[in-house]
Structure 1
Amino acid sequence: MWHHRGFRRLWAAATVDACGTWLLVMAVPVQVYAVTGSATSTGLALAVQALPAVLIGPWAGALTDRWPRRVVLVGANVAAALGVSILLVATSADRVGYVYLALAVENLAACFLRPALQAAIPAVVTDPADRASANALLATSHSALRICAPLAGTYLTAAGWFGAVVVVDVVSYLAAAAIIAGLPLPATTRPAGGALGRPDNPRPGAGTLDRPAGPHPGGTRLVDELRQGWRLVVHSRILAGLLAGSWLYWTANAALTALLVPFVVHRLDSSGQAVGYLVTGLGVGYLCGSAVSRTVLLRSPARTQLTISYALVGVCFLIMFSTSSLLVAVVAVTAAGLPGAVAGVATTHHVQNASPPWGRARVSATFMTSDATAAVIGALAAPALVAIAGLPTALITLSAAVLLAAATAAFLLPAESGPPT
């Protein structure tokens, strides 16, 4: 993959960006609880991070498809840096509102950053086999960061160095913007008509470097472009199948995450420190899964990849959440991370392949919004299910729901849905 100069820059920017982001993942909740002593304030901080993707995500995708990718990537990174810098003044309980403002700005910027990156990768890496390698490499580097960066951020924050963690994240966003600023990205061709905006007659001169492709014929309104993103998904069997399976998977995953601490305390009869063992084990599994995902992507169609991956995760979750042994739980969650990483990389890869170049950002934003909605619904459904059926039954039911995601993928995805050649 290193022979792709454009991808080298994208990878470097995304990795630097992710390093700072993962440092803050646990550091912010720790800081909020330290200055407020309130679990409610901590929970609100986590909720604020999900709201922009739910409310703004689809609009951001439609706008990103209108604008040059490079401008969006640079601008979103700079905006995120400005947002994160607000955290530097959140030093007391009466200033906790600045935390919510900072998180809202950062995650609003991420609503543009994520779909722009997903749309830029296929534009830079045009060969499907190389693209599989690119997605696997990005997932591997991010998986490595998710193991060590949250622990480092938590340690530094607990030691009174929260400001230093914030500065590192700000610098990482600015560095990512600087890396991408000199990267030429191919412009996308606007559709000239046809069902769902398929390009019947592409404009002459399309494909010049980083040049806006101009307005849609007839001055298509932004709301129409927003709806078109959903239509692209609904009218594509592979995109619809990917979305349905992903939504079920992440809803169950979010619900189980919400119940992780009660599971550790009441089922494993252990301290909160055990949560760290489980999260670390999951990270190790993700790292291993990311490393092998390229081979999986190139050897089987999407339906096989996702059906088997979701099924294996479901089985691992059933073992994990039915045991009372911490060792068994750590082994099971580590094993779940491997197919979980493959499922994530496969979904990203096939969304890129199945989306038209002019609509990749809005399709990616549709999936981002779906995942965020799943996170909110799962987090709300988990305590309700516990109240109705009890913790053990809720854990087994939600684990089995991952198997339902596997069945959904097997039923909805086409038999041959590998990367196009």
Structure 2
Amino acid sequence: MDFRRLWLATTIDSFGSWLLVMAVPLQVFALTGSAMSTGLALAVQAAPAVLIGPWAGAAVDRWPRRTIVVTANLASAGAVLLMLPAHAGFVFAGLLAESVAVCFLRPALRALTPGVTDDLARANSLMAFSDSALRMAGPLVGTFLTARGWFEAVVVTDALSYVVAAAIVATITVRTSPVTSPDRPQLRRVLSAPLLRGMLATSWVYWAGNAALTALLVPFTVTRLHGSGEALGWLIAGLGVGYLAGSAVSRRLLTRFGTRAILTVAYTTVGLCFLVMVNATSVPVAVVAATAAGVPGVVASIAITYRVQVDTPDAALGRVAATFYISDSVAAVAGALLAAAVVALTTLPVALNAFSFLVLSTGLLAWTAPGVTAASRRRPGPRTARGR
């Protein structure tokens, strides 16, 4: 019952977030007409994690995790409402404030999940499945409304989703151990595990390339595909269809194959699909490629979340989850800034192909990275010591 409530809360949260996720760069691009501005929007969204992430991870391991999730949701709602004036300055301010709250929210959610269920493979697959379903509809509706001047409606909906999610999480009972252990393993010692270290490195490269392509997605749609905001929505919706399919099979893959095999095949396939997408000249071809990329993309994401939860001591789970979040955020900042720089120095097609090849190369890195081995597929035993 508690996991179902957590699942419902994250689903509602995802609904609002996916409405806004591509509406923001579309609104910024419409206000500024600059491809660099969309990259800046992504950088502003990810930057707070670099400074705040370590403190957030420590807080998740020290304070009640349910309380952190509730508070962060409410803070995110207030931050999103800063975007209501729908001008570039307010949009950037809202993004920045929301990102600060999310620095606490994302690691806390990852650390909270083992406290409400023992079947982590199933839990992560179900959460990814519902998130993927919303990924199909959310960006399509959000970009549709934004393209017609209804950006404010998207903002209000996202804020309400945060509030409702907070109310649901407040009713969840999180299992705890009879005696709270004072032992908080040093983060450096935990991350010295070869598997976690290898996943961290490959994930960074992957998300840097992914963020660069995301930053260029709006100008790609407008200039190469000659599409509108609705075409952008179809691309993101197609990616969501792929995520939906991938999340449906991820649990079986996690229990049958090793982490190295999963990440190698997933990253390589995503890179190949991106190459097809960025060289497409029609919206249907680009949508098919984006859909195909979504299947391995979500499998890789679920595999990393699952292994972090399984291979990390509960007393350090918040900090490790925050470390991965920080790493991904730094990669997002780097990718967004690199995208703007490469476009300025070369051309949009060159940049799109270069970052697609970067994603493709992550497959080789995953295969050769120390620690990301087939031996890491052991199933977890019961976890009795839970977060608060």
TM-score by length of 2: 0.87
Q: Secondary structure at the match of 2:47?
A: helix
Contact 2:111 2:309 in 1 (8 A): yes
Tell me which residue corresponds to 1:197: none
Do structure 1's residue 206 and structure 2's residue 179 form an aligned pair? yes
Deviation of 1:296 after TM superposition, in Å, equals 1.0
Tell me which residue corresponds to 1:191: none
Contact 1:62 1:229 in 2 (8 A): no
Quickly say closer, same or farther: Cα 1:70–1:277, change in 2 above 3 A: closer
CA distance in 2, matches of 1:307, 1:42: 30
Larger-gyration structure (1/2): 1
Tell me which residue corresponds to 1:63: 59
- Does 166-175 or 293-302 show the bigger shift? 166-175
Tell me which residue corresponds to 2:384: none
Q: Secondary structure at the match of 2:373?
A: coil
Tell me which residue corresponds to 2:105: 113
Please, which runs of 5 or more residues in structure 1 have no aligned partner?
189-204, 208-212, 218-224
Contact 1:230 1:363 in 2 (8 A): no
- Does 393-402 or 236-245 show the bigger shift? 393-402
Counterpart amino acid of residue 229 in structure 1: L
Contact 2:42 2:332 in 1 (8 A): no
Do structure 1's residue 315 and structure 2's residue 272 form an aligned pair? yes
Deviations 1:92-149 (A, max 9, x none): x5xx5443333222221111111011001112212xxx21111011011111111112
CA distance in 1, matches of 2:19, 2:357: 32
Tell me which residue corresponds to 1:241: 198
Deviations 1:398-418 (A, max 9, x none): 222223211221122123111
Deviations 1:6-58 (A, max 9, x none): 21111111111111222222334455566x55647665544322222222112
CA distance in 2, matches of 1:120, 1:371: 20
Quickly say closer, same or farther: Cα 1:105–1:341, change in 2 above 3 A: same
Q: Secondary structure at the match of 2:292?
A: helix
Q: Tell me which of the two structures has the higher relative contact order, counting C-alpha pairs closer than 8 angstroms and 6 or more residues apart.
A: 2
Aligned ranges 1:21-420 → 2 under 5 Å: 21-31=17-27, 36-37=31-32, 39=34, 44-88=40-84, 90=85, 93=87, 97-126=89-118, 130-187=119-176, 205-206=178-179, 228-233=186-191, 235-264=192-221, 268=224, 270-272=226-228, 274-324=231-281, 326-386=283-343, 390-412=347-369, 413-418=372-377, 419-420=379-380
Deviations 1:351-375 (A, max 9, x none): 1111110111111111111111111
Tell me which residue corresponds to 1:202: none
TM-score by length of 1: 0.81
Q: Secondary structure at the match of 1:417?
A: helix
Q: Secondary structure at the match of 2:374?
A: coil
Contact 1:49 1:107 in 2 (8 A): yes
Q: Secondary structure at the match of 2:380?
A: coil
CA distance in 1, matches of 2:277, 2:89: 38
Q: RMSD over aligned Cα, in angstroms? A: 2.7
Contact 2:39 2:215 in 1 (8 A): no
CA distance in 1, matches of 2:154, 2:283: 31
Deviations 1:256-285 (A, max 9, x none): 22333454466x453345434322221211
Quickly say closer, same or farther: Cα 1:261–1:171, change in 2 above 3 A: closer
Identity of aligned residues (%): 53
Counterpart amino acid of residue 179 in structure 2: A
CA distance in 1, matches of 2:367, 2:11: 33
- Does 322-331 or 109-118 show the bigger shift? 322-331
CA distance in 2, matches of 1:345, 1:146: 15
Number of aligned pairs? 376
Quickly say closer, same or farther: Cα 1:379–1:327, change in 2 above 3 A: same
Q: Secondary structure at the match of 1:309?
A: helix
Quickly say closer, same or farther: Cα 1:184–1:363, change in 2 above 3 A: same
Contact 1:230 1:366 in 2 (8 A): no
Quickly say closer, same or farther: Cα 1:176–1:140, change in 2 above 3 A: same
Contact 1:48 1:100 in 2 (8 A): yes
Quickly say closer, same or farther: Cα 1:260–1:142, change in 2 above 3 A: same
CA distance in 1, matches of 2:273, 2:228: 21
Deviation of 1:168 after TM superposition, in Å, equals 2.4
Deviation of 1:316 after TM superposition, in Å, equals 1.9
Q: Secondary structure at the match of 1:206?
A: coil
Tell me which residue corresponds to 2:385: none
Q: Secondary structure at the match of 1:56?
A: helix
CA distance in 2, matches of 1:24, 1:286: 18
CA distance in 2, matches of 1:326, 1:170: 31
Quickly say closer, same or farther: Cα 1:390–1:38, change in 2 above 3 A: closer
- Does 60-69 or 271-280 show the bigger shift? 271-280
